[in-house]
Structure formats: C-alpha cells, structure tokens
Structure 1
Amino acid sequence: MKKFYSLVAVAAFTSFGVAQAQDVIFNETFDTYEGEGGNDGGWSGGLNQPAIADGVDEATGFEYLKAYQADGAVKIGTGKAQGFATTPKLAGLNGNAKLTFRAGAWNSTSEQTTLLLEITGGGTLSVSEVELTKGAFNDFSVDIIGGTSETKITFKGFQPASARFMLDDVKVEESLATIDYSEAAKAVSNTLWTNTASFNVKEKSVVEVYNMNGQLVKSFEVKGVQTVDVSSLAKGIYIVKTTSNGKTATQKVVKK
C-alpha cells in the first residue's frame, strides 16, 4: 500500500505560540482499511469502498457516521449525507499538543472543500476549519491548547451534502517548550507589510509565510536586521513562522 503526499499545509495559527512535539499521545494510520481511495489515486466515481458501521469502530476507536474504508484511509460522507469522524478520548493528554493529519476533498464539481474541526471534552483548537484540495491529500498541523484526557477531535464536512473527504494519518503529540507570542513579534519588525518585510533576529532563521488556508506561499532565510521583498504576495492576512535553533514562533501580519 502506497501513500502519496502532496502540498504541506500548516494551520498552527494561535496566539499561544508553536511548540515542539515530543511524546505521541494518539496515532491512527488506518492501514487496516481496504478498498480504494486517495492513496491509490481514487478520488471520484464508483470506487470499491466497504462501508463502516455507524458508531464506534473497534479497529480504530473512531466514532463514525457515513464512513467507508478507502485503502489505508477513511472516506467520510456521501453525496447526500454529511458524516463525521471523531477520535477516541485522547488519554494521556494534559495541556498543549500538536494535531497533525492528512485530508483531501472528493473530486466532483459540486463538492465543497472546507473541513470543519471540533473539540470536545476540554481545550481549544488554533483553527476551526481548514481548506482541502479536490483529488489530493494535504498535510495539516493544528495546535491543541489546554487539552485533557477527555478531549476528542471531530472532523466533518462543511455542509449537509456534497461534503465528502478522505482522512489519513491522524496523530496527536504532546508539546513542550512553548514559545511566547511576544517572542515571535520580536523577530518580525513590521506586521503591516506593503512591498517589504523587516526582520530582526540574532541567529540565522528560516521564515515561512502561510496564507489563512494553511498553505505555504513563501519561504526564505534571514539573519540580523534584514529587509525582504514580499511584493509578490497578494493582499490579505498571513501567518509568519520563524524557526531558529529548533525553536519556532508565529506572528500574524497584514499585507496591504
């Protein structure tokens, strides 16, 4: 079974900062699921996707509504029903963590592409929705803030019908060494960008700029006091991720 990886989309947008991952709290690869799906290029049409009974699935611990086996992944929803996938309780979670997963939208002309994320049992998520690509898996990363051992995460389509998606490689990792948001602000000297962006960092740092869909749109390195041309970026809000010596921080900026 092969798993194909495409665009890496990071959605870790939170004023609490970004943390480095350590212990794995939960990890589900859906490798026991058979049938056809995105991992073998199947995103539309009459695919062989065995139905999974509604309720808690013994194989994975996920609770499902309208779920189907999809070749090492799970497909959620139908053309007429929304469906959802909810993780088991995240036993061992106590505080902040990193949720990562792969997901892609069903490839039909009427399909919407927004994936809703919900948290229950304690804690908040850094984002409540991400934008999927039709016919391809994207990688996503979301911060869990203040989670507990009762926390569950739910993935579901944006609307009651034509909101099908495939989900794979759901992992939750404990976080530590959180960087304050104020530290990120020191690296990005100006948060209102026109044609240039200014940085002030002591060590050589990797800078990644993400749009609000979590897509990487620009990356570069800076050191010391430096100005970078960002005129190619469209107007809007972006998240700037700065990484230096293994430490990461984020800052929201506005491009005029």
Structure 2
Amino acid sequence: MNAWILFLTVFLACAVEAVEALTIVLAAGTSRHWGSALQGTGAALLVLAATVAALGPAIGLIPLDPLRLVVGAFLLVFGLQWLRKAILRASGHKALHDEEAAYAKQVAAATAAATDSRGIVQDWYAFTLSFKGVLLEGLEVAFIVVTFGNNQRDVPVAALGALAAALAVAAVGVAVRAPLARVPENTMKFVVGTMLTAFGLFWSTEGAGAHWPGSDTALLVLVPAVALLALGYTALLRRPETPERPLPRTQAEGIVR
C-alpha cells in the first residue's frame, strides 16, 4: 500500500472519531468547567498513549499472515458496521447523524448534573464526561493506527495520519468553539467504511494464504467495487419521496384569483 493511501485512510477514519470526541469535550467545557474538561481529556490521552505503547510492540511480534487474518476479520466487522449505517442514513432508513443535536443533548445532561469536586478536579462530572468520551473514541483511533501500521509495517505513517486528524479537528473546534456540524461526517463514514471493508477483505484473504492478482494494486479495483456495491444498495433501499397531492380544482382556482 502506498504511504499516502495509508496516511489518507487513517486520517479520514480518525477524523470521524475526533469530531465525536470534540463534541463531548466542548459540551463538558462550555456547560460545566473548562479546566476539569481539559484535565479529563489529558488523562484520557495519557491512558491511550500507554495503551498504544504496550500494544504496538506486542502486535508487531505476531507473524504477518496470522496478523492479517485476524485484523482483516476485525476490519471487515468494523467497516461493515460503518458502511451499513451510512447506507441506511443515505437511503432514508436511519436519521442522519447531527453533531448539533448530540452537542445539545450532552449540554442538557451536563447542566442537570450536580457539581462534585475531587482533589485537584473542581468538577468531577466534566472530568469524567471528557475522559470517557476521549478514551472511547481514542481507543478506536489506537486500534486503527496499530492495525493499519503493523499490517503495512509503517506505524509512523499511520500515527502521523491520526495525529494530523486530531490536530486538524481540534484546531477547527478551538477556532469556532462549536460542534463541527458542517463537517460531512456521514459522507466520511461512507468513504471510511468502504475503505475499511476493502482492506479487511484484502488482508483476511492474504492472511488465509491466498494472493490477490497484482498484490497491493488489487486494492485499486477492490475499493471501487465495494463502493459501487454500497451505492447500489443505497439506491435499492432508498425511500421514495412522498409526492405532493394536487389541490382540488376549486382551491386551486381560489389561489389563482
């Protein structure tokens, strides 16, 4: 896989997770206490750094073929879940993900919670809300970085893609101090779900002992094939728009007059 393709895939996948984590941190900071929210964010990042430092070398010791088989299976499950949700949203069977609505929900819950200080943390609720949000989304980022990086034997490029995504989303969030509602997250999830599914198919097949024609260049066919299949399902499942009923003739004449 080309280093730029690896970087772009990790960047897009991690950007989606970063947007969701930022929404939670902004809700905790604006409605409760910024200092406690940032403390929770920092604590979660420390836990994530320790997790990646422990898991990275351990995964690197596993032989490549079994690693690709296991990771490919996980990526298939992970990617198909994203792709399924994206198809349902694009076809009208599931509500579009709304960061503004998620932000408002988090703010309402945070405002209603009682204030409790513990040690150096002035607002324990803001701390735990940020900690849980960043940790849960960050674990998915760590999984993406470790698996993609080790499979391609290029962890630095994968880590750079994740770092670039986190910094880009954080910079925009600090600038606007609002949920990134204009980011086409559902489109990003469709693209990332397609790429994760394609990579999962590619790696699990190679891990099972088969070989793709053209090696890594087979991804240039596999990714568009998965995308076309997903678009086909979207078109097949798309709900028809309810046609507007024509006004009765008497009402129509009244409007014209």
Given the two structures, how large is their TM-score scaled by the length of structure 1?
Answer: 0.23
Structure showing the higher strand proportion among its residues: 1
- Rg larger in structure: 2
Structure showing the higher helix proportion among its residues: 2
Given the two structures, how large is their TM-score scaled by the length of structure 2?
Answer: 0.23
